[in-house]
Amino acid sequence: MVLLYILIAVFSVTLISLVGIFFMGLKNSTIERFLESFVSFAVGGLLGGAFFHLLPEAVESTGPPIFLYVLSGIIAFFLIENFLHWRHCHKGECDVHTFTYLNLIGDGVHNFIDGMVISAAFVTDVRLGLATTLAVAAHEIPQEMGDFGILLYGGFSRQKALLYNFYSALVAVAGALIAYLSFNHIIWLKDFLIPFTAGGFIYIALVDLIPELHREKEPQRLIGHTLTSLVGLAFMWWLRVFLE
């Protein structure tokens, strides 16, 4: 019965990745007006997720290796991006920006952890599992909106962005099943993946997304991007305080 609860909870959270469906009927011109706002919000969401959620959790459970794990995440995403750029880009031009794939990888790892956390909570206590599921869902809504916007901005079609975002979210099911089947043997994996993912999120936000926003030259729009990023940060901070 506990496994059934876990699967229902994880699938419910996974469906949040389809939030982009609400934007499918909008005109391209309307979507384009929102894209940079999505990206700037995603900057705040990624940094807030790393510094307000993942890293505090890592500090409590990981101990001294945390900074090494964060650094390994940054280096790994740097190497992956260079490989993707070499593999998919020719003459300096990319049909799809490499940061879209990086974001999918980082989000997939994050979703894997979410599945593990939800599963571990239900194994401990069903009520704790329900509370954890609500907490993860609240965190996922703004993140998935930002992820959808990043994929669109990076060159994905709406349909492809929606589908790939859903595939990335499904990784949570694997995390939940692995946690349920081998709960006592994977603590080390969770301890590594949390700061590793934080490093990846920091890299994507600072190296890929913020430079994209710097291309805007109009002062008013730059101010707007800054404020939207701060809103993303503030929302993640509010979630942190609300969920404690």
Is 120 inside any structural domain? yes
pLDDT of residue 117: 79
For 118, the domain range is 2-13+35-243
What is d(CA 196, CA 214) in angstroms, rounded to the nearest whole number? 27
Is 85 inside any structural domain? yes
pLDDT in tens, 49-107: 889 887 887 887 766 788 999 999 899 888 888 876 665 565 556 666 778 888 888 88
Is 30 inside any structural domain? no
Contact 98, 88 (CB under 8 A): yes
Is 24 inside any structural domain? no
What is d(CA 198, CA 47) in angstroms, rounded to the nearest whole number? 8
Is 220 inside any structural domain? yes
Backbone Cα Rg of the chain: 18
Q: What total number of domains does the chain contain? A: 1
Is 239 inside any structural domain? yes
Q: What letter represents residue 92's amino acid? A: G
The per-residue b/e assignment along 91-105, b for 16 or more CB within 10 angstroms, e otherwise, is: eeebebbbbbbbbbb
pLDDT in tens, 143-173: 777 788 888 888 888 889 899 999 999 999 9
Between 70 and 219, the more confident residue is 70
What is d(CA 67, CA 26) in angstroms, rounded to the nearest whole number? 43
Is 21 inside any structural domain? no
The residues facing 93 across adjacent strands are: 90
Distances (CA, A) of 60 to 120, 181, 234: 17, 24, 22
Is 217 inside any structural domain? yes
pLDDT in tens, 18-38: 888 877 777 766 766 777 787
Helix (H) or strand (E) holding 78: helix 66-88
